């Protein structure tokens, strides 16, 4: 099945089974805003719990924070968002569709990469075991030709971005003959800058209302509280502050479902270190964060680093962790070495000293910061897309199954009486009433057992228990495993011991 079709199916699966709904659905939706349904909210909470515990519970020197969405507007002046949180946008005059100029060029670069990879793939098939990929890449005239074009484009693109040269960005689009995917034409407008922050007014107009912004990242709430936390928590450098919360961006190109939203959620951690040690910490966090992702078991081939070509003026290192989505490798998390830029700016704009006194060095300084920043919604999408499977079973029957990591699954156990009589529902309810204190259980008595299994497979429930007539005699049930579909007879009293540790977030945390 084409990846595009897989993605479409995933989107409709998310709606059909209560994971994600378009916001304001009965009013035909609101662009790039989504609601999480009864299953989605459970999965989302589990992702957040996995992140939070891995940061705050597993690190003595990381603590949490929940700062407000509304903040003093000068914060966004100091952080540079008012002046520079822009995207370069370009319109196609025929389709009237708006695009990010940098994204159009990045997609063009990816096309060159695809061409190179195709050449290499074909050669690998042709030569079999004797194939030397490095040598082929270095000598094949076709590969070299594509590579040269790619490198030239890449250098031009990076230069234009670094110089914020909007005319040159447009010229690249023209020279590369990039067409609008809707109209198929090259009839482009100029490239313009567009600020991504939403604003609103605080206070009544009579009082002189103040223009404030909906935060475009949670990080600034951490920066402006860093000294409050450091002092009241008696934190010693190096230490971190973790926060989960909503962020808002007026994205120009808001497609691809929950990948790029206007209201989304971030999980950010700012790690404050001694100046001069930041690159060492950057390397540590880069490795730790990849490990966190890989512990979910989707396979190392689903992830890659993307080191930034264009560093923000305040950063001295930056990388993305990209995940193989149905539409290619895409950024899920950013890890940035932000130097002392943010704290110094807040010091300057607030006029207050926010230096840290280092008792070991007996001196005060502005700490440097390593940031790890991951979008909850993108993480959700990556987990869903890697878990969604359509399988053909023995006998030709098909099933849709979400092979979610058990600790992230919304429902951990479904309890089903074989029939709705002979005391089986009561027995099944007893099991739920006992286990519901340990993990999320669902009682399900409607339809045939086969249909009930399919329903639970479709929401990713790792275990199902069937209560039959034997259960009322010997207190045993059949326990079915979602992935293998194998069933075993187990005592009811042992269910928690068998399932509990497998579905608990702790089992994931222990692998980190
Ligand atoms: N404080 C740094 C920061 O915000 P970013 O790379 O702009 O960095 C971090 O965003 C993460 O937030 C991204 O890797 C992505 O997962 C998520 N994110 C950013 N914009 C998003 C959007 N419009 N919709 C969903 N997630 C988004």
Q: What is the pLDDT of residues 376-420, one digit of tens each?
A: 999 999 999 999 999 998 888 999 999 999 999 999 999 999 999
Query: pTM here?
Result: 0.89
- Where do the domains of the chain lie, and which CATH numbers do they carry? 3-69+215-384 (3.30.930.10), 86-193 (3.30.40.230), 399-509 (3.40.50.800)
Residue 395 confidence (pLDDT): 86
The predicted pLDDT at position 484 comes to 96
| 261 close to 254: Cβ distance less than 8 angstroms | yes
**CB of 461 closer than 6 angstroms to any ligand 1 atom:** no
- Which residues have a Cβ under 8 Å from the Cβ of 416 and sit 6 or more positions away? 428, 443, 444, 445, 449, 452, 464, 465, 466, 467
Question: What is the CA(402)–ligand 1 centre distance, in A?
Answer: 26
Does residue 3 or residue 427 have the better pLDDT?
427
Residue keyed to tokens 């069933």: 487
Q: Is the pLDDT of residue 10 over 90?
A: yes
Cβ-based neighbour number of residue 138 at 10 Å:
11
Given a cut of 90, is residue 249 above it in pLDDT?
yes
- Can you give the pLDDT at residue 206? 63
197 C-alpha vs ligand 1 centroid, how far in Å? 13
Ligand 1 neighbour 217 (Cβ under 6 A):
yes
CA distances from 354 to 79, 357, 368 (A): 15, 10, 12
Q: 1-10, 334-343, 473-482: lowest mean pLDDT where?
A: 1-10
| Mean pLDDT, rounded, for 132-157 | 94
The predicted structure's pLDDT at residue 155: 93
Residue to substitute in 48, 222, 264 for testing ligand 1 pocket (most ligand atoms within 8 angstroms of CB): 264
- pLDDT at residue 315 above 70? yes
**For the chain, what's the residue count?**
512
**268 Cα to the center of ligand 1, angstroms:** 10
265 lines ligand 1 (CB under 6 A): no
Identify the H or E element spanning 168: helix 166-175
Average pLDDT, the chain: 95
Q: Facing residues of 193 across strands?
A: 88
Ligand 1 pocket check for 102: Cβ under 6 Å: no
CA of 248 to the centre of ligand 1 (A): 10
Distance between alpha carbon 267 and the CA centroid of its chain, in Å? 9
Ligand 1 near 266 CB (within 6 A): yes
pLDDT at 1: 67
Beta carbon of 382 within 6 Å of any ligand 1 atom: no
Ligand 1 atom closest to Cα of residue 251: 23
Match 């329903």 to its residue by tokens.
455
| Element containing residue 16 per DSSP (H, E) | helix 3-16
Ligand 1 centre and the CA of 375: distance in Å? 5
First to last CA, the chain: 35
Give the residue-averaged pLDDT of 312-336: 94
Structure confidence at residue 384 (pLDDT): 98
What would the pLDDT profile of 165-200 be if each residue is shown by its tens digit?
999 999 999 999 999 999 999 999 999 999 999 999
The contacts of residue 35 (CB under 8 Å, 6+ apart) are: 20, 21, 22, 23, 25
% pLDDT > 70, the chain: 99
Could you tell which of 216, 247, 254, 311 is best to mutate to test the pocket of ligand 1, judged by most ligand atoms within 8 Å of the CB?
247
Coil, strand or helix: which one is 486?
coil
Separation between Cα atoms, residue 267 and residue 50, nearest integer Å: 11
Cα–Cα distance between 249 and 251 in angstroms, integer?
5
Q: How far is the CA of 299 from the centre of ligand 1 (A)?
A: 23
The vertex-378 CA angle with 321 and 501, nearest 5°, equals: 90
> How many Cβ atoms are within 10 Å of 151's Cβ, its own excluded?
12
Centre of ligand 1 to C-alpha 318, Å, is 14
State whether the beta carbon of 263 lies less than 6 angstroms from ligand 1: no
Q: Taking the CA atoms of the chain, what radius of gyration do you get in angstroms?
A: 26
pLDDT, position 471: 97
- Which residue's alpha carbon is nearest to atom 17 within ligand 1? 375
Q: Work out the pLDDT band at 345, boundaries 50, 70, 90.
A: very high
Q: What is the pLDDT of residue 205?
A: 66
Can you say how many angstroms the Cα of residue 239 is from the centroid of all Cα atoms in its chain?
24
Span 251-307, pLDDT tens digits: 987 778 999 999 999 999 999 999 999 999 999 999 999 999 999 999 999 999 999
Give CA separation, 275 vs 217, 229, 281, 340, in Å.
24, 20, 11, 8
pLDDT tier for residue 311 given thresholds of 50, 70 and 90:
confident
Can you give the pLDDT at residue 313?
79
pLDDT at 78 over 90: yes
pLDDT value of position 493: 97
Most ligand 1 atoms within 8 A of CB, residue of 266, 293, 330 to mutate: 266
Q: Read off the tokens for 276.
A: 């001069």
The residues facing 202 across adjacent strands are 210
332 sits in which H/E element: strand 328-337
Q: Which ligand 1 atom is at minimum distance from the Cα of 219?
A: 1
Q: If you measure from the C-alpha of residue 298 to the centroid of ligand 1, how many angstroms do you get, rounded to a whole number? A: 22
**Per residue in 260-276, pLDDT tens?**
999 999 999 999 999 99
Report the separation in Å between the CA atom of 157 and the middle of ligand 1, taken as the mean of its atom positions: 22
Is 264's C-beta closer than 6 angstroms to any atom of ligand 1?
A: yes
- How much is the pLDDT for 207? 65
What does the pLDDT average to over 35-40? Answer: 98
CA atoms within 13 A on the CB side of 220: 24
Residue ID of nearest Cα to ligand 1 atom 6: 334
| Full 3-state SS string of 70-92 | ECCCHHHHHCCHHHHCEEEEEEE
Average pLDDT over residues 320-339: 96
Say yes or no: CB of residue 377 within 6 Å of ligand 1. yes
- Evaluate: CB of 268 within 6 angstroms of ligand 1: yes
């Amino acid at each position: 099945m084409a990846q595009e079709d897989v993605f479409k199916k995933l989107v409709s699966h998310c709606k059909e089974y209560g994971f994600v709904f378009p916001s304001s659905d009965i009013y035909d939706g609101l662009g790039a805003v989504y609601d999480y349904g009864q299953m989605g909210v459970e999965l989302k909470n589990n992702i957040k719990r996995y992140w939070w515990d891995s940061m705050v519970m597993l690190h003595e020197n990381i603590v949490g924070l929940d700062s407000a969405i509304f903040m003093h507007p000068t914060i966004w002046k100091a952080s540079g968002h008012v002046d520079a949180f822009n995207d370069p946008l370009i319109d196609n005059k025929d389709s009237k569709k708006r695009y990010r100029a940098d994204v159009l060029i990045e997609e063009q670069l990816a096309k060159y990469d695809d061409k190179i990879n195709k050449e290499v793939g074909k050669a690998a098939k042709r030569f079999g075991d004797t194939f030397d990929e490095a040598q082929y890449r270095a000598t094949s005239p076709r590969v070299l030709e594509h590579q040269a074009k790619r490198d030239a484009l890449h250098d031009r693109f990076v230069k234009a971005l670094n110089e914020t040269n909007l005319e040159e960005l447009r010229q690249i689009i023209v020279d590369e003959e990039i067409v609008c995917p809707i109209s198929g034409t090259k009839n482009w407008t100029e490239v313009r800058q567009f600020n991504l922050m939403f604003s609103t007014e605080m206070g009544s107009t009579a009082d002189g209302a103040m223009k404030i912004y909906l935060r475009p990242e949670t990080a600034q709430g951490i920066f402006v509280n860093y000294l409050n936390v450091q002092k009241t928590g008696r934190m010693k450098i190096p230490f971190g502050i973790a926060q989960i919360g909503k962020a808002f961006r007026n994205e120009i190109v808001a497609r691809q479902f929950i990948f790029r939203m206007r209201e989304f959620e971030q999980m950010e951690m700012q790690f404050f270190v001694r100046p001069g040690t930041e690159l060492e910490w950057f390397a540590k966090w880069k490795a730790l964060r990849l490990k966190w992702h890989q512990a979910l078991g989707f396979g190392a081939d689903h992830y890659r680093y993307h080191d930034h070509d264009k560093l923000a003026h305040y950063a001295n290192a930056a990388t993305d962790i990209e995940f193989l989505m149905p539409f290619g490798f895409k950024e899920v998390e950013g890890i940035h070495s932000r130097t002392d830029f943010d704290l110094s700016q807040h010091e300057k704009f607030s006029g207050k000293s926010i230096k840290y006194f280092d008792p070991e060095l007996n001196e005060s300084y502005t700490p440097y910061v390593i940031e790890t920043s991951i979008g909850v919604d993108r993480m959700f999408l990556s987990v869903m897309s890697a878990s969604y499977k359509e399988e053909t079973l023995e006998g030709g029957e098909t099933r849709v199954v979400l092979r979610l990591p058990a600790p992230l699954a919304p429902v951990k156990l479904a309890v089903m009486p074989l029939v709705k009589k002979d005391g089986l529902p009561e027995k099944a309810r007893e099991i739920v009433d006992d286990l519901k204190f340990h993990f999320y259980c669902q009682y399900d008595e409607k339809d045939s057992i086969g249909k009930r299994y399919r329903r639970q497979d479709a929401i990713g429930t790792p275990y199902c228990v069937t209560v039959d007539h034997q259960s009322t005699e010997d207190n045993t049930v059949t326990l079915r495993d979602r992935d293998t579909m194998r069933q075993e007879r187990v005592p009811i009293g042992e269910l928690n011991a068998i399932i509990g540790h497998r579905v608990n977030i702790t089992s994931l945390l222990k692998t980190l």
